[in-house]
Amino acid sequence: MTVTQPERRQIIASQKDDLPLIYGSIDFEALPHRFTTDPAVPAQMRPDMEGERPRLLADGELVDLIATYTMLGDRVGDAYASLIPDYGFQRLVTMLVEACDHGVESVEGAPPELAAFLADMEQVPDWIDIDLVRRGAALERNLAAHVLPYVIRGALLGTFMNKYAALPMAIAGGLSESTAGKRANETAAFFLSSVLPGALDRDGIAFKSAAMVRLMHSMVRFNIMKRTSWDSSVYGVPIPQSDQMPAGFTGAFFLALQATRRGRSEFSADERARVEFARYRCFLLGLPQDLLPTEPQAIVDIMATRHATLRRDFDDDTCGRLVRATIAADIEKEKSPINSFRVRFERSTSKLFLVKSYLDGDEARAESMGVAVTPVDKLRAVGTLAFLATQVVPYAVAVRTPVLSSYADRRLVGKVERVLRRYSGAEFTTDGDAYRHHSA
């Protein structure tokens, strides 16, 4: 259920008392430097939406909503991660894995924080239509099987364009190629697995992955606040809910943007199912209903307001190094000649995806980040898109043809499973050693 603004403020402020190991030093009465409503201060907006900023900033209710969720972490995940001094990093991971696989009751000496963590995920909220979620997952399989492996790296690069949002990843060790590759691999594995039948159910593979992602984020918060000189007056809360929204809701945002630009105020039935699928996946990752609207204009506005209030700042030592490490990283675990061939095309396509989706086509800016887009990259990307069209279009027709739909869906499930095998080995953890002696 939605909460009122006073209730949200109380929830935010209570973090200081309820989770002192993480939030004891943060002043929740003051917004951090990263958050701005000054129209004269450049914000992290898409160039094609900058003209909307005055309208967005004038919506006090929406701005206040983003302000509060810029100061909220994950209460149940953070409470469990705060047990690191008592149980140790590895033991918390092991207990969560066992609880996901066999239930909390199977974990000897399970702390109440673990039970609360999983209970928060297990109950499907009344604002989610689970039948629509399953329909949305089926509709997403085509793109997941064919397109996602070629754009996931580029989508991740887009999350590194702002130093305020990207710094936790840098501190967590993401500046190295090996760690950047591990994170990209885990991200791809989670989003791929989530479209499989039953994957988001309590005993599904993506449910477990979502729990591990949440724990990883909470461990990052704990380690940053305990082991570094994090300046909360500048950066606020590490990995706040407002920063997690774009990662999980970007697909819904693009659907909403497309609908609004075509003059539509409502989604089609298939679009609505895909949005509901994204909303439930975001819920499992810890996002509240307030950040997950269902109508096209509301989705565009809430995402755009987050960007309109995030101060623009690209720091090469943080953002640039993350971008370069991610471009160079090996994402797929499976090594073979055909995979090596495929990766060349994937990397080139990801470069173009970054330039077109996040840099407004500015190749010079991409090159200044260390992402040079060569003529060969463009040829590979064009070839990749042409190849993907030959895969996506026939399946899009087949899944809507009664006599072919079941067969086509089984084929898509098999394709997703084969792609997942290439990304096998995701761990969804964070190495506490990466935080020592780090200044923020």
Residue 433 lies in a domain: no
**pLDDT at 196 exceeding the cut of 70:** yes
Residue 437 lies in a domain: no
Domain holding 214, by residue range, is 5-425
State the pLDDT at residue 86. Answer: 95
State the pLDDT at residue 360. Answer: 82
pTM for the whole thing?
0.91
Which of 21-25, 34-38, 325-329 shows the lowest per-residue confidence on average (mean pLDDT)? 325-329
Mean pLDDT within 386-411? 95
**pLDDT at 305 exceeding the cut of 90:** yes
Residue 313 lies in a domain: yes
Residue 431 lies in a domain: no
Residue 230 lies in a domain: yes
Residue pLDDT, tens place only, 263-296: 999 999 999 999 999 999 999 999 999 999 999 9
Residue pLDDT, tens place only, 94-104: 999 999 999 99
Residue pLDDT, tens place only, 112-163: 999 999 999 999 999 999 999 999 999 999 999 999 999 888 888 888 889 9
How many domains in the chain?
1
State the pLDDT at residue 175. Answer: 63
**pLDDT at 435 exceeding the cut of 50:** no
Give the residue from 95, 124, 72 showing the smallest Cα distance to 212.
95
Which of 6-15, 39-48, 151-160, 424-433 shows the lowest per-residue confidence on average (mean pLDDT)? 424-433
State the pLDDT at residue 113. Answer: 98
State the pLDDT at residue 337. Answer: 84
Which of 236-240, 401-405, 410-414, 426-430 shows the lowest per-residue confidence on average (mean pLDDT)? 426-430
State the pLDDT at residue 188. Answer: 86
Residue 435 lies in a domain: no
**pLDDT at 233 exceeding the cut of 50:** yes
The CA-atom distances, in angstroms, between 234 and each of 32, 36, 163, 242, 440 are 5, 11, 11, 16, 9
